[in-house]
């Protein structure tokens, strides 16, 4: 039986980061899904922020240690588990990678605004911000296929769920956020082909995200009508 347990939500991009890291390291794990709209009591007792992901790590005394925050979980996985290293060995390069991981989190915040707003002006503002942020990434990407070249890293694990949103958005309308950025487009394609990325969500993910947009009566849906 898997020793690690990842407590998850079906749409959470932060959960995907941890799942991708575990898969890249070849670590068996169990995934437990919860409904964030009706959080169970046992979850609230062990989650300081009431958020996913959580990683349950078994202890020698039979208990468990609970880790929270996706970047913390991903780095723990990389440091404690066998398999290829997902963070650079050099301290300066590693710090730079951490910065770009936070940058990816900022894009996720913008995506939240984009996908939940009913207002056309707010939608366009968020679309422009996201486009500009991808432009900054275009400037730092090398020859690929991944952020750090040939090696898959935790930065890739952060951005794969970012790009996944646009698979569903593109089926509704072309937002044009990476149209002018060939390196970003190639990076997106390389990440989408990665087995760890494909398996980080259930097959129903696109339908679930579409239903989420419908619950919010999201402005983006009007663009596809």
Instruction: Name the architecture of domain 4-80.
Output: 3-Layer(aba) Sandwich (3.40)
Give the pLDDT confidence of 4-15 residue by residue, as tens digits.
Answer: 999 999 999 999
Contact (Cβ atoms closer than 8 angstroms) between residue 18 and residue 77 = yes
Catalytic residue among 4, 6, 7, 12: 12
Give the pLDDT confidence of 130-150 residue by residue, as tens digits.
Answer: 999 999 999 999 999 999 999
70 as an active site residue: the answer is no
Per CATH, the number for 91-223 is 1.20.1050.10
- Give the C-alpha separation, 57 to 187, whole Å: 32
Q: Is the pTM of this model over 0.85?
A: yes
Write the DSSP assignment of 96-159 as a string of letters.
HHHHHHHHHHHHHHHHHHHHH---HHHHHHHHHHHHHHHHHHHHH--S-SBTTBSS--HHHHHH
CB contact set of 177 (below 8 Å; sequence gap of 6+): 127, 130, 131, 134, 166
- Give the C-alpha separation, 134 to 114, whole Å: 15
The ranges assigned to domains in the chain are 4-80, 91-223
Give the pLDDT confidence of 179-223 residue by residue, as tens digits.
Answer: 999 999 999 999 999 999 999 999 999 999 999 999 999 999 999
């Amino acid at each position: 039986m898997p020793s690690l347990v990842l407590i998850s939500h079906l749409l959470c991009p932060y959960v995907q980061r941890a799942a991708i890291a575990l898969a890249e390291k070849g670590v068996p794990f169990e995934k437990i899904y919860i409904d964030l709209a009706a959080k169970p009591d046992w979850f609230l007792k062990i989650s300081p922020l009431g958020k996913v992901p959580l990683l349950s790590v078994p202890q020698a005394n039979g208990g468990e240690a609970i880790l929270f925050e996706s970047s913390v979980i991903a780095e723990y996985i990389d440091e404690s588990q066998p398999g290829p290293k997902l963070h650079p060995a050099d301290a300066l390069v590693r710090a730079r990678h951490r910065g770009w991981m936070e940058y990816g989190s900022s894009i996720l915040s913008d995506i939240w605004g984009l996908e939940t707003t009913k207002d056309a002006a707010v939608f366009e503002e968020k679309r422009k911000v996201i486009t500009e942020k991808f432009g900054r990434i275009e400037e730092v990407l090398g020859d690929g296929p991944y952020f750090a070249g040939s090696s898959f890293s935790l930065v890739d694990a952060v951005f794969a769920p970012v790009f996944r949103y646009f698979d569903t958005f593109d089926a509704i309308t072309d937002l044009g956020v990476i149209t002018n950025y060939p390196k970003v487009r190639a990076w997106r394609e390389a990440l989408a082909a990665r087995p760890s990325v494909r398996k980080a969500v259930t097959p129903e993910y696109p339908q679930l995200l579409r239903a989420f947009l419908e619950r919010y009566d999201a402005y983006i849906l009007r663009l596809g009508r």
